[in-house]
Amino acid sequence: MLPPGAIPIIYTSYIFVQGQIDGVPANILLDTGADNLYLDSIFYAASGLSYPQTHLEKITGIGNSYQDILVIDDSLDFYFHGQRYRTSDVVVLKLKPVGGDFVDGLLGTSYFMQNLLLIDYVNGYIQNFSSIDSVNLSGFVRMPLSVHDYGFTTTLGVRVNDTLSLRGEFFIDIGSPGTTLSSAVAERFNLNSIITHKARYYSKYAGIGGDSEGYDFVSDTVRMGDFCLLHPTVSFSIDSAGALADDGFMGILGGNLLSRFDLLFDFLDTALYLRPNAHYDRPFVYDRMGFSYTDRCATKGGWVVASITYNSQAELRGLRCDDLIVAVNGQPVEAIPYLEQEALFEKLQHVCLTVQRPDTTLELRFDLVPLL
């Protein structure tokens, strides 16, 4: 049972709230890497929504490129759980290629800036508070935040291995599934040479900026305030442009680490409070798939392969970005609910993927083995 005033969320690799955009139902992703309300272009085209005052711009983010976007200058309302957020300057851009058909839009920090925001990953809710005095802070540890035009950073310590430890400001992004060091940091500390055991990946749909490339590795520890996480997966980027090439911070702190805590964002006092949750001590699970996909069943009839890890079993058997997966071990992917997909792969040791390409249909068989 949720506490009074709590707003239920859906958590997979992303946090979603369900609501309405001017009366049209929408699944909205929460994202501290964004400032305002953003709408997916496919959702917007299908919604019937129309606003007379708009203009065109370009936008960058994670990835080496940019997107052409539509900006709605008129005001619109986002309703969720009895609350209304009225805003203008709403961006319309391509989100479903990155997050899948479940993503209709995303909500940044502007809505929460005059409040405190509690995120409870384990029990599945968020909650707003008007002051710190309204919150039971038992078990929480305070970390100061620094404010940037595009969001907030906090200080982390990353022990890469026996020879290198890093400490600096990381951009807090609950809309990013992983934690990644920037390409500027990777070059400055020669991470490609220092880290010998790593897995290189390429993602065609990493973020707003499109394609991205880097390496996954297992770090010794990551320190967040008073807390020390053992052997988490961290990545380092080799992007030449975009958010992960920014030298203004050391990297992005994402959901794979944040989701091990209850989070309390005090936007009024620019602080983040952490409290370990039931997942805090769980051993980190390392990737066995060698690829990632976005669920595009509603718009494309299957799962679109979004990223590939080089020399993984998936790549060696011929899987590549933009392949359309239509079945896993003979089961049509359209019959696998979005919220059950992660658990499906956790149970499997071997897979047979039925893959469609414009000119052929293939069956690709391989084992699921840890890449790191």
Residues 165, 102: one domain?
Answer: no
Residue 147 has pLDDT above 80, yes or no: yes
For the chain, the domain total comes to 3
Max Cα distance, the chain (Å): 63
Q: What was the pLDDT predicted at 111?
A: 87
Please report, for the domain that includes residue 85, its CATH number: 2.40.70.10
338 lies in a domain? yes
Residues 101, 205: one domain?
Answer: no
DSSP letters of 28-96? EEE-TT-SSEEEEHHHHHHH----S-EEEEEEE-SSSSEEEEEEE-S-EEEEETTEEEEE--EEEE--H
Domain limits at 171? 138-276
266 lies in a domain? yes
Residue 248, C-beta contacts closer than 8 angstroms, at least 6 positions apart = 148
Residues 101, 160: one domain?
Answer: no
285 lies in a domain? no
358 lies in a domain? yes
Residue 65 has pLDDT above 80, yes or no: no
Q: What was the pLDDT predicted at 13?
A: 87
Q: How far is CA 125 from CA 11, 23, 78, 152, 292, in A?
A: 9, 23, 18, 22, 26
Q: Using CA of residue 43, residue 120, residue 36, residue 100, what is the dihedral sign?
A: negative
Residues 162, 267: one domain?
Answer: yes
Residues 67, 19: one domain?
Answer: yes
Last residue of a domain, one of 61, 95, 129: 129
Residues 216, 249: one domain?
Answer: yes
Residue 38 has pLDDT above 90, yes or no: yes
Distance, in Å, from the CA atom of 28 to the CA atom of 272, rounded to the nearest integer, reads 23
Residues 340, 357: one domain?
Answer: yes
Paired tokens of 338: 């979005």
Paired tokens of 190: 């020669």
Last residue of a domain, one of 253, 276, 299: 276
pLDDT band, residue 243 (cuts 50/70/90)? confident
CA dihedral 124, 301, 325, 97 (to 10 degrees): -60
Instruction: Assess contact for 295 and 338: CB atoms under 8 A.
Output: yes
Average pLDDT over residues 91-104: 94
Residue 233, C-beta contacts closer than 8 angstroms, at least 6 positions apart = 178, 179, 216, 217, 218, 219, 256, 284, 286, 287, 372
pLDDT band, residue 110 (cuts 50/70/90)? confident
β-bridge partners, 141: 274
Q: How far is CA 145 from CA 27, 128, 170, in A?
A: 28, 18, 10
% of the chain with per-residue pLDDT over 90: 81
Residues 34, 121: one domain?
Answer: yes
32 lies in a domain? yes
Paired tokens of 10: 């859906």
pLDDT band, residue 342 (cuts 50/70/90)? confident
Please report, for the domain that includes residue 326, its CATH number: 2.30.42.10
Judged by phi (left if over 0) then psi (alpha if -120 to 50, else beta), residue 48 lies in left
Residues 223, 344: one domain?
Answer: no
Distance, in Å, from the CA atom of 92 to the CA atom of 100, rounded to the nearest integer, reads 16
Instruction: Assess contact for 17 and 30: CB atoms under 8 A.
Output: yes
Distance, in Å, from the CA atom of 6 to the CA atom of 122, rounded to the nearest integer, reads 14
Count the residues in the chain: 372
122 lies in a domain? yes
Residues 151, 226: one domain?
Answer: yes
Last residue of a domain, one of 129, 152, 182: 129
363 lies in a domain? yes
